[in-house]
Amino acid sequence: QVQLQESGPGLVKPSQTLSLTCTVSGGSVSSGDFSWSWIRQHPGQGLEWIGHIYYSGTTYFNPSLKSRLIISVDTSKNQLTLKLNSVTAADTAVYYCARSVEGYTYAWGHWGQGTLVTVSS
Amino acid sequence: SSELTQDPAVSVALGQTVRITCQGASLRSYYASWHRQKPGQAPVVIIYGKNNRPSGIPDRFSGSRSGNTASLTITGAQAEDEADYYCNSRESSGAVVFGGGTKLTVL
């Protein structure tokens, strides 16, 4: 059974870079059958898609975040990474990594538990 | 980017049928997916594509689309169905958009 686990600092200072890692077990980030996504949820609010990446390295980003965003995969470590620079308090959220349903990018069959990142000085 | 609009809250009597809707221009071209989220938990996919249910999702959940509106129907709502439900779809650019979510209360 595939499992995803987010990790990274829970507190980031304004203007700095938010960096998160999603470690995947029970499955490979190199599989061509799935895409890998980051999705966030501001406190008490709805879901916001951040972006996703295919095994080929092709990425798609939320237009509102695109200029600050890097998503990549590390196949040697079987990890997905997120880097969001120039963060502000508006980036405070629970960040989820998720794997798509097999063969279908726009639904997610497996999610990490989520990690809360607070942007504050 | 386009938006998806959901009613913020819907209620249903135990055992009755409820429809949760999602409206948006992208739905004229693409199917919606539906995810359920309970407090403190990660979302769970309920419906994706035309009307696909992952294994483990009861057949009381079904999805449909008409024009610019996608619907999630729960036939015979159970107490455990009380949760937030989110629709999402893709845009022609390949980006993803979520609806604001619907809080379902089972009375």
Whole-number pLDDT of residue A18: 98
Q: Which of B45, B88, B97 to mutate against chain A (most A CBs within 10 Å)?
A: B45
- Taking alpha carbons only, the member of A104, A100, A96, A50 closest to residue B37 is A96
> What share of chain A in percent tops pLDDT 90?
96
pLDDT confidence tier of residue B77, bands split at 50, 70 and 90: very high
Give the model confidence (pLDDT) of B49-64 as tens digits.
Answer: 999 999 999 999 999 9
Taking residues B16-26, report their average pLDDT.
97
* Cα A116 → chain centroid: 12
SS (H, E, C) B3-37: CEEECCEEEECCCCCEEEEEECHHHHCCCCEEEEE
For A21, the token pair is 């890692």
Confidence of residue A32 (pLDDT cuts 50, 70, 90): confident
What is the reported pLDDT for B37? 98
Question: A29: which residues sit within 8 A by CB, 6+ positions away?
Answer: A36, A55, A73, A74, A75, A78, A79, A80
Q: Is A43 exposed, middle or buried (0-12, 13-18, 19+ CB in 10 A)?
A: exposed
Burial label, A3 (beta-carbon count in 10 A; 0-12, 13-18, 19+): middle
**Res A11: pLDDT:** 98
Q: How far apart are CA B13 and CA A79, in angstroms?
A: 44
Q: Which residue of B has its CA nearest to A113?
A: B42
Would the pLDDT of B84 be above 80? yes
B88–A105 CB contact, under 8 Å: no
- Kindly give, in sequence order, each residue whose CB lies less than 8 Å from that of residue A67, ignoring residues fewer than 6 positions away: none
Helix (H, G, I), strand (E, B) or coil at A68: helix
- Nearest Cα to Cα of residue A98 among A38, A58, A26: A38
- Read off the pLDDT of residues A58-108 as tens digits, 9 standing for 90 and up: 999 999 999 999 999 999 999 999 999 999 999 999 999 999 999 999 999
Are the beta carbons of B1 and A114 separated by less than 8 Å?
Answer: no
Sign of CA dihedral A57, B46, B65, A96: negative
Round to whole Å and give the CA distance between B102 and A101.
22
- Across the interface, whether the CB atoms of A101 and B43 are under 8 A apart is answered no
